[in-house]
A and B are shown apart, each in its own frame.
Chain A
């Protein structure tokens, strides 16, 4: 089930200063997490990822995911916010107007690079990874999960 990305998440996703990690899973079950600066908002509720190398581990894992129903995770960190987005690759563009627009754009920004594919990732879940927010949630749901010295009378 797709979720709607909030304006704050979209801003974080499109901010060049945001750290963006894309995690995929290989055939052997090992996770593969790599910083991918080309992750950005797709404009229609989806996330776009520009893959530069046909034979990269990420690209192969994304192909495997779209073929066999695998999932991906995206970690964003910037401007005091940290979120994780879980989702699924639902389409890849290797030709056509969207692909060509990105092809020209990425060559204009990065120079002599090629573009293998534009992946479309549909977000299923957004998790706020901010420690304070996570801590408040944990305290509310699991009040017993605490070291006693932290609540000892001093």
Chain B
């Protein structure tokens, strides 16, 4: 697959110029954002320095990469403050950061200048092992520095109806992973339970679990089948723990109260996230047509609010594809308008106990928005600070989705000081 993106970054303000305008914003988090916006390219010298016994190479993931390829490259990076950068290999033509290996260290290079030391993610001990059914455990559960990811099913019914979210490449990437790596379409609870059991034998390695997948609209009530899948899986996972509840996040469809109550009562799940993706009703209808048709923007928000009664304040969240609100032709025309609108909606949710986090939007080659342009670094800095300020003003914590439990949200990285 060939990436078609042509976004150029040299015509923007430089990193130093942008950061100088935000003296109260951590430079390292700004760097994380910028690396995520632009992607990375590994030099041959860096590639020669990877040690597959020590470093985690790319494992199955729910979304694809900017180069549209699955190659044995490092999974991702860590900054020296413990901040995770989830970033994917990016063609040189798109002006990514360079990861090189100099004087025995991996370093980030921007415009020829060495700007930061980075560490590669360490390989977890369970990678390379097989389940009793003979599957590679790394294909069942993938690792982040401190989190276990369970991508339960690789299918999204919205895509099947040609109503997939326009920024998303889940099905494109799933097919690629199945064809090239043999990753199963749907996980069996027994395989997941075995893999989790093996993973948590490693002392000090993991602090939480995250389950997510595409939406499953089938069942007596909308999403009943999706809920059944998750309950079966979470119950199997729960057999590995001595406590009924275990630190965990489910990122799933907007379930009704009965479904949420079942999830809470029948499993060890501790937090619930359902992604609105974009905080504007008109844009939601355009960008997420499947979600809009089956649930609707207002009902999706209301379901999040009702989830707070079940999971508690600070344990319910919604995720945004930060920046997608500027997609054209229907998105906001200015970054200032986009930011003001998004933060106002996030404040409404926070007042009702729902926390909002974002990921940096990367127009991916396997998505409908592949030719769009993401907003500026300045926008992403303001969005991160704005969301964290809102959280703080409402006394909301985001423990289940912070720098350590997740690592993919610049706004919740800032919660380390809260």
Contact = CB atoms under 8 A, between A and B. Distances in A.
Contact of A94 (B27, B54, B145, B202): B145
A139 interface: no
B78 interface: yes
Residue from the set A92, A95, A99, A107 with the largest chain B CB neighbour count within 10 Å: A95
Contact of B416 (A60, A91, A95): A60
A50 B254 CA distance: 41
Interface in A39-85: 54, 60, 63-64, 66-68
B73 to A, nearest CB: 19
A66 B81 contact: yes
A66 B204 contact: no
Nearest to A90: B80
B: contact size bracket: 20 to 34
B26 A68 contact: yes
B119 A100 contact: no
B417 A64 contact: yes
A12 interface: no
Contacts of B29: 67
B64 interface: no
A63 B78 contact: no
B145 to A, nearest CB: 4
A27 B392 CA distance: 15
Interface in B259-285: none
A28 to B, nearest CB: 12
Given A91-B81, A117-B82, 18 more contacts: A27-B417, A60-B416, A66-B28, A66-B81, A67-B81, A67-B417, A90-B80, A93-B82, A94-B82, A94-B145, A95-B122, A95-B146, A96-B122, A97-B122, A100-B203, A100-B204, A103-B204, A107-B203
Closest 5 CB pairs of A and B: A103-B204, A67-B26, A95-B145, A94-B82, A91-B80
Interface of A: 27, 54, 60, 63-64, 66-68, 90-97, 99-100, 103-104, 107, 115, 117
